[in-house]
Structure 1
Amino acid sequence: MKTLSCRLSKPARRLYSTSKPTPNAGPPPPNPNKRDLKDLATSDLCYYWDTKSPTAEQLAFANKLFTPSRHSPLKLWSASKFRTTPMSSLEPEVAFLGRSNVGKSSLLNAIMGQEICWTSSKPGRTREMNAFGIGGTKGGEHKVVLLDMPGYGKASRSEWGSEIMKYLKGRKQLRRAFILVDSEHGIKPNDAYILGLFRRYAIPHQIVISKVDKVLGKKQKQVKTGVSTIGLQRLQEMLQGLREAVQPDIRVSEGPGALGELITCSADIKVGPGRALGVDAVRWAILSAAGIDGSLEGGTLASEKMSAASSALP
């Protein structure tokens, strides 16, 4: 009799998995230590102690007025000497000053929403006072005029400083001067000297901190994806530390200090179409300086009052 051999068959493959199904992976949970740029409030980036932080409605109004159109922004005039500036203009003016290469022209382009100012990596390219009208209509006057002034410090010339001071001291249309300070370098000796002149001659002025992304993060690429709570805290500490320089003790100051608010911005960091980081608040500060209270009617009324007052002068 033949012996039957029995071959053990291989175990059958399992047709199903014993592991539990993995749910579809959703978006990663938000990082509690990081804030999206679009979620930052003005109070996160700026420091107000004598004034109030603008509301969302006021910021929206400022952005609408600064939206480029056929008649805005518009270059109105250039002048290398104060005596050649148009004396008959009635629109309120604000002037932007800063050390050479502080990013002044780039910021003005971001404010006006158009590449209208000359920008260069080389300092000292702005050699005249250049005036730009904002909020104009066909046949109508502009709501406010922005002046891009020559930089001081490196690559500047002493005669430019002389003409700038003539403008700042003698221009009746000037409502406020905005002094840009580089966030990375703080207030340098040249800045302190200029601020001393502003106090001595009682020129209304305000400090704007430029290139704030350098304080918020180590690399610009990191800031574009959001800001850490540590970066925001570092910024607020820096701003609070500048308060004494902005408004020195009246017992040692030669005159009134700057407006009691510090605005920060970065023309290179975009937060939306036509919007750069912190520029909304700068736009509102410009309108506030010009006496525009949040409505076009209010701004028109302010211009009419100024026009009437000018015509009443002997």
Structure 2
Amino acid sequence: MQTRDTGELIPSAPSASLQSYPKSKTKAPPETPPTGPHDYNWYYETAPPTPPNKTHANTFFDKHGKQATLLRSIAHFRKLPETDVPEVAFIGRSNVGKSSLLNAVMGCNTKALLARTSSTPGFTKTMNLYGIAPDPGVRIKQESLSGSGGPGREKIVGPGGLVIVDMPGYGSGSLSAWGVEIMKYVQSRKALRRVFVLLDAEHGVKDKDRSILASLRLAGVSHQVILSKMDKLYIPKANEIKEFGKGRKLKSKGTVTGLRAKMRALLPDIKPPVGGGALGEILACSSEVLVEGKRLGIEDVRFAVLKAVGMEGEERKGFTESKKKKKKAVVEAKM
């Protein structure tokens, strides 16, 4: 709008038709060929984690995952406590392997604490919040209100920690029935740093997955795709391959190039020509297969979680600072 000297509003000239603008196309990002059987993740816009990065991620979760706390199971966004702790959320279709993946990432007693694997699709019906942090861990603190005799408000606290939110699986029901409270969370939760969207490696993206991805894009929510159950397509060659929890020996399967091709096929859905897409890396994993004693791809997911909340270098930073202090003490002792 423009104004005359009298202050009267004058309509602006109409905008050019959208058809007059050139149509953009989705271009496949450049791809570095895999360097070996374990180079199956696709980092097409980000740098892959280094061995020290992976060691740090494994150390954090192996050390503090045992102290993980089930903070709250809720069905309505308004019942979420306030928080000072960064959060990440995992969502996916029912029976996509989300609960098993969370158990593997967090490394806890799955029966006593974490998201439970069920043979019934859609087992998780609430948003489950799990806190992981060094002592004293993540907890819900009751803050008393000044001059009030009431219980006060609740707040999640946990220095140096994070919260993982396990979202209900979207199954055979409608997305509207599943997602009202979920979308309130992903659109309004200020502590949320990233949503990890699990897709079945074998079956790929479905219509409901596309709807979820579109909703996250429109809401401007940071999100990333993880292919679960990658053992259905690919198991790298190794001296020792076993089924987790059973010890049964398995054989290598498929090719890394075949798995990468599956990832490239996702691009039109996760990185459209208009609007922000998913983070520029696609991870693949399997919580059911041990390769050389490690669950397949889990350490990469662990690092992605820490990176999302800005904790990818905390222990390394502490190690460096400690080393500097020791060196300084030695120098001062010689003076």
The TM-score bracket by the shorter chain reads: 0.7 to 0.9
Further displaced range: 130-139 or 208-217: 130-139
Distance 1:185 1:279 in 2: 20
* Distance of aligned partners of 1:53 and 1:224 in 2 relative to their CA distance in 1, 3 Å threshold: farther
**SS in structure 1 at match of 2:125:** coil
**How far 1:133 sits from its partner (Å)?**
1.0
Flag structure 1 segments of 5+ consecutive residues without an equivalent.
Answer: 1-38, 300-314
- Partner in structure 2 of residue 294 of structure 1: 313
Larger radius of gyration: 1
- Partner in structure 1 of residue 88 of structure 2: 94
* Distance of aligned partners of 1:298 and 1:245 in 2 relative to their CA distance in 1, 3 Å threshold: farther
- Partner in structure 2 of residue 15 of structure 1: none
| Pairing 1:168-207 to 2, within 5 Å after superposition | 168-207=186-225
2:96 counterpart letter in structure 1: V
Kept in 1, the 8 Å contact 2:91–2:198? The answer is yes
- Partner in structure 2 of residue 26 of structure 1: none
Confirm whether residue 122 of structure 1 aligns to residue 124 of structure 2.
no
- Partner in structure 2 of residue 233 of structure 1: 257
- Of the three residues 256, 279, 289, the one matched with 2:298 is 279
2:255 counterpart letter in structure 1: G
2:40 counterpart letter in structure 1: L
Q: Can you list the C-alpha shifts for 1:122-172, whole angstroms capped at 9, x where unaligned?
A: 111101110111233126535111000001132577444100000000000
**SS in structure 2 at match of 1:191:** helix
**SS in structure 1 at match of 2:220:** coil
- Of the three residues 240, 249, 270, the one matched with 1:246 is 270
Distance 1:209 1:96 in 2: 12
Distance 1:40 1:283 in 2: 20
Taking structure 1 as the reference length, what is the TM-score of the superposition?
Answer: 0.73
Distance 1:280 1:195 in 2: 24
Q: Can you list the C-alpha shifts for 1:34-85, whole angstroms capped at 9, x where unaligned?
A: xxxxx853xx221011101100100000000001548622111111100000
Q: Can you list the C-alpha shifts for 1:234-268, whole angstroms capped at 9, x where unaligned?
A: 11111122223221112xxxx31000100000010
2:252 counterpart letter in structure 1: V
- Of the three residues 91, 103, 113, the one matched with 2:107 is 113
- Partner in structure 1 of residue 227 of structure 2: 209
Distance 2:284 2:314 in 1: 24
Between the two proteins, the alignment pairs up a number of residues equal to 250
Distance 1:297 1:279 in 2: 20
**SS in structure 2 at match of 1:227:** coil
1:153 counterpart letter in structure 2: G
* Distance of aligned partners of 1:199 and 1:69 in 2 relative to their CA distance in 1, 3 Å threshold: closer
| Pairing 1:23-102 to 2, within 5 Å after superposition | 40-41=37-38, 44-69=39-64, 72-87=67-82, 89-102=83-96
Distance 1:70 1:276 in 2: 16
Distance 2:230 2:87 in 1: 26
Confirm whether residue 265 of structure 1 aligns to residue 296 of structure 2.
no
Distance 1:224 1:264 in 2: 21
* Distance of aligned partners of 1:61 and 1:70 in 2 relative to their CA distance in 1, 3 Å threshold: closer
* Distance of aligned partners of 1:241 and 1:201 in 2 relative to their CA distance in 1, 3 Å threshold: same
Question: Percent identity between the aligned chains?
Answer: 43
**SS in structure 1 at match of 2:278:** coil
1:295 counterpart letter in structure 2: E
Kept in 2, the 8 Å contact 1:71–1:137? The answer is no
**SS in structure 1 at match of 2:209:** helix
- Partner in structure 1 of residue 32 of structure 2: none
1:61 counterpart letter in structure 2: H
Runs of 4+ in 1 over 6 A off after TM superposition: 220-223
**SS in structure 2 at match of 1:67:** helix
- Partner in structure 1 of residue 134 of structure 2: 136
